[in-house]
Structure 1
Amino acid sequence: MKKLCIVFRRAPHGTAHGREGLDLALLSASFEQEVSLIFMDEGVLNLLKQQQPELIGAKDYIATFKALPLYDVETVLVCKQSLAELGLSAGLLSIPVTVFNHEQIAGHLAQADEVLVF
């Protein structure tokens, strides 16, 4: 089974990157690839609770992250340093995550067959 890691580095709603990364994750998982997600830098903002993108005319794809377990996407990592830089904690995120530091993230990336950054 191929190991695919998708890295989210951009803030939500300004571009289609977040939605495209999520769509790819769900599609790949439905074809029985082992998918993991990493959220770092402003990409962490994709997971914040209580977002209201419709107020700025954007579609709410954020709620779809809650469907990840239905697709057997179990590895969702968040960068510890990114959380700290943004003044956030894992408790403010809408789905369960594992907080990793840069070294742990590098180790996870090294185990992936493919890494795509959004």
Structure 2
Amino acid sequence: MKKLCIVFKQPPHGTAHGREGLDFSLLSASFEQEVSLLFTNEAVLTLLKDQDPESIGAKDYIATLGALPLYDIDTVLVCSESMQELGLSEQELRIGVTLSAPEEIASHLNAVDEVIVF
């Protein structure tokens, strides 16, 4: 089974990167690849609770994060430094994640077969 890590770096709204990355993640997992997700930089904002993207004319693709367990996507890493820079706590996030230091992230990326950045 191929191990794939999808890295999200862009903020959740304003571009299609987040939606496309999430769609790609679910599609890859449905083809029995072991998929993990990594949120870093402003992409961490994607995980915040109580967002209303429709109020700015964007689609609510973020609700799809709730489907990750159905696709056996259990590894969701979030850069602890990005969280700190944005002044966020783990309690503000809508799904369970693993806060990871840059060294842990590097180790994870070295352990997968392919890394795709959105």
Q: TM-score, normalised by structure 1?
A: 0.99
After superposition, give the CA deviation of every residue in 1:84-118 in whole Å (9 maximum; x if it has no partner): 00000111000000000000000000011110011
* Counterpart check, 1:98 vs 2:107: no
The alignment status of 1:37 with 2:37, answered yes or no, reads yes
Stretches (4+) displaced over 3 A: none
SS of 2:38 mapped into structure 1: strand
The whole-number CA distance in structure 2 between the counterparts of 1:5 and 1:90 is: 21
Counterparts of 1:19-58 in structure 2 under 5 Å?
19-58=19-58
**Distance (Å, rounded) in 2 between the aligned partners of 1:64 and 1:103:** 29
Aligned to 2:10: 10
% same residue: 69
1:107 and 2:92 correspond: no
- Aligned partners of 1:64, 1:2: CA distance in 2, in Å? 23
Read off the aligned partner of 1:9 and give its amino acid letter: K
Tell me the distance in 2 between the aligned counterparts of 1:63 and 1:47.
10
- The alpha-carbon deviation at position 48 of structure 1 amounts to 0.5
CA RMSD of aligned residues (A): 0.4
Letter in 1 for 2:80: K
CA displacement 1:10-47 (0-9 Å, x = unmatched): 10111000000000000000000000000000010110
**C-alpha separation between the residues in 2 aligned to 1:14 and 1:110?**
31
* TM-aligned CA deviation for residue 65 of structure 1: 0.5
TM-score normalized by the length of structure 2: 0.99
**SS at 1:36's partner residue?**
strand
